[in-house]
């Protein structure tokens, strides 16, 4: 079994940028990606802010090299996965066992919604090819085909922990000598289904979200994709490029408390963080930064905060929710925030928790409010907690 799994490449697209460089610039400018709905055809325009990727489908398709009528989910996925693979610059890939582990929660639902809008008005209309790639797995297959990956591919869909689970599953495939290189992460596009669903749950903020603030009102939905290239120790030794870090710890726990709510005492969150620390061999005091799940909902932030207090009190590391920039990208969030975590180590930065003003009364947590650079960041914990109590924590460590 391989002793270490290394991160060799990263790629990301979200409301604040179309690649890694644009994201770093947006973070430094403290510029969020939320705004009025522009691409999605919905009754919630001008009512609910979202964090849309700024490019339309035709513009995304031109970058990705796919037809313009492809699902937005697949377009976002291919753009970020291509960037990650190019960043890794692994020579002679054909000689290596390569996998693609991708997560999403909506699949090609955006195209299905287009079909049914026409079909329900007139059952002789609607293009059946629009629903051909409806399921989540089709998104993975489309991108894997474009990347030429044939050795192994699979799709993970565990709500908001999906792409974090994809990343540590990829690590296990490498550790058990089944694959040499894996592109892992996730993607999700905004759809009417998700926007209407979260609105029904009454957890969407009508203003820009403010995670971990006493006066938080809910989350803003976002979209995007984020992928890491994980490699074995043998491949890592052969690379001339500078590696980002290792994936030193990971854990998935499930408190099964409620279909859509976290347990009030944060049991799942606590077990995920505790398990990841144990896997990494690190103590809580070793963590230099926590990328919070931090959705901005009353229940989620309170539960996560309670779990963090249980583990880290009284010496809290710097922490923040980058969803204050990107919105909650659902199945893509763990992958996007994993990219942010490895960038924090590489560049010595800590991201601000935008719009945070008032600490929660029941907890003494104080997220970072400003962009910080020049820091010595060796270990980053990234939390991704999903519906049904499916909670995952990843720990990335410098080399």
pLDDT tens for each residue of 174-214 = 999 999 999 999 999 999 999 999 999 999 999 999 999 99
Q: Which of 48, 46, 44, 82 is nearest to 66 (CA)?
A: 82
Residue 160 a catalytic site member: yes
CATH class of the structural domain 6-238: alpha beta
Over residues 311-315, mean pLDDT: 96
Residues 236, 2 contacting (CB under 8 angstroms)? no
Residue 379 a catalytic site member: no
Query: Looking at the predicted structure, is the pLDDT value of residue 1 above 70?
Result: no
pLDDT tens for each residue of 352-380 = 999 999 999 999 899 999 999 999 999 99
Helix 162-175 to helix 333-347 angle (10° resolution) is 70
Query: Looking at the predicted structure, is the pLDDT value of residue 391 above 90?
Result: yes
Q: Where are the alpha helices (DSSP H) in the chain?
A: 20-29, 57-64, 72-88, 109-121, 129-132, 136-147, 162-175, 192-200, 233-238, 267-280, 298-312, 323-326, 333-347
Question: Can you give the pTM of this predicted structure?
Answer: 0.96
pLDDT tens for each residue of 267-299 = 999 999 999 999 999 999 999 999 999 999 999
CATH class of the structural domain 246-397: alpha beta
Of the pLDDT bands very low, low, confident and very high (cuts 50, 70, 90), residue 259 is: low
Over residues 158-171, mean pLDDT: 96
pLDDT tens for each residue of 208-226 = 999 999 999 999 999 999 9
Q: Which of 44, 293, 379, 391 is catalytic?
A: 293
Residue 209 a catalytic site member: no
Residues 253, 386 contacting (CB under 8 angstroms)? no
Q: Which of 160, 209, 245, 391 is catalytic?
A: 160
Q: Which of 44, 328, 379, 391 is catalytic?
A: 328
Q: How far apart are CA 338 and CA 73, in angstroms?
A: 19
**From-to residues of CATH 3.40.47.10 in the chain:** 6-238, 246-397
pLDDT tens for each residue of 104-158 = 999 999 999 988 888 888 888 888 888 888 999 999 999 999 999 999 999 999 9
Q: What percent of the chain has pLDDT over 70?
A: 98
């Amino acid at each position: 079994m391989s002793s270490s799994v290394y991160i060799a490449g990263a790629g990301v697209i979200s409301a604040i940028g179309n690649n890694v460089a644009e994201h770093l610039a947006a973070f430094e400018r403290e510029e969020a990606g939320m705004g009025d709905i522009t691409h999605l055809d919905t009754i919630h325009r001008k009512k609910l802010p979202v964090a849309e990727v700024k490019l339309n489908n035709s513009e995304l398709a031109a970058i990705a090299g796919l037809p313009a009528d492809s699902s937005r989910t697949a377009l976002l996925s291919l753009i970020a996965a291509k960037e990650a693979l190019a960043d890794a610059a692994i020579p002679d890939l054909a000689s290596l066992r390569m996998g693609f582990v991708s997560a999403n929660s909506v699949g090609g639902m955006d195209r299905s919604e287009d079909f049914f809008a026409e079909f329900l008005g007139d059952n002789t209309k609607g293009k059946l090819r629009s629903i051909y790639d409806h399921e989540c797995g089709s998104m993975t297959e489309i991108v894997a085909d474009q990347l030429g990956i044939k050795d192994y591919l699979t799709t993970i869909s565990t709500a908001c922990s999906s792409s974090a689970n994809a990343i540590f599953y990829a690590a296990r495939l490498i550790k058990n000598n089944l694959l040499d290189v894996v592109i892992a992460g996730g993607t999700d596009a905004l759809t009417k289904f998700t926007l209407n669903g979260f609105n029904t749950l009454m957890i969407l903020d009508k203003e820009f979200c403010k995670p971990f603030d006493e006066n938080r009102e809910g989350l803003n939905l976002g979209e995007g994709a984020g992928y890491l290239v994980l490699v074995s120790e043998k491949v890592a030794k052969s690379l001339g490029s500078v590696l980002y870090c290792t994936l030193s710890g990971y854990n998935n726990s499930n408190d099964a408390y409620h279909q859509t709510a976290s347990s009030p005492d944060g049991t799942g969150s606590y077990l995920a963080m505790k398990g990841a620390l144990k896997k990494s061999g690190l103590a809580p005091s070793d963590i230099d930064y926590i990328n919070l799940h931090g959705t901005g909902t009353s229940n989620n932030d309170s539960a996560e905060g309670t779990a963090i207090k249980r583990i880290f009190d009284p010496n809290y590391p710097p922490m923040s929710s980058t969803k204050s920039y990107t919105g909650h990208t659902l199945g893509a969030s763990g992958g996007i925030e994993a990219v942010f975590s490895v960038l924090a180590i590489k560049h010595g930065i800590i991201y601000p928790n935008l719009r945070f003003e008032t600490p929660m009364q029941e907890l003494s947590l104080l997220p970072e409010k400003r962009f910080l650079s020049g820091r010595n960041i060796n270990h980053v914990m990234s939390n991704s907690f999903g519906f049904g109590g499916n909670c995952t924590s990843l720990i990335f460590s410098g080399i």
